[in-house]
Structure 1
């Protein structure tokens, strides 16, 4: 089923047109999530184009910070060649959890089953006549 759906639904991964467009481009590397990074061609300003083919759903928050820097031309070479090894205290990056069950819910959020704190009396409603 996914083979038939893939050419038409870009949100499920790269479409046939995207893979077709990779002809003649250079595969730069792959991150720990399985996303593959490519470079090739020039934009109108003469800057090399760079892009990512996601392993799974297309979600920009799934790009690790070091590869984000490469995609946005903050570093020239692939991150594994120019950046130091991760420190022992660094946490692994997480995808954006908004819209999922793991999303942050403050204590007063209705979704968390909480109650809003009562007003302290310092609120004064605006009226157009005032």
Structure 2
């Protein structure tokens, strides 16, 4: 009888049989697969690459924000109002100073550098994901 001919209760019960494996045997096989394919190393490599891609993305986003949210614009005012509602006063002062500096000193060089670095680091993250998935699939 194929699995499609089983009712729901029988299908759920067959899942928990684990193909005749006992729980300790399943645990050993999982651990063996993790160590043989260096799963922990691959996951740390992937996390490192994507965390490293965040900072160039933030540089690009802040430079882009400075281009569109010049002082006195409605977007600038609404953002500062929202930040005043959710941030403590000390954090609000720091963030406000940073936003003011970014909007004053925005240029196309920062945007270009930010997008190039963001694309480069994001492609490194995607490449590590591809190589990790290929290694796991083998």
- TM-score between the two structures when normalised by the length of structure 1: 0.21
Normalising to structure 2: TM-score of the pair?
0.20
Structure ranking higher in helix proportion: 2
Bigger relative contact order (CA 8 A; separation at least 6) = 2
Question: Which one has a bigger Cα radius of gyration?
Answer: 2
More strand by share: 1
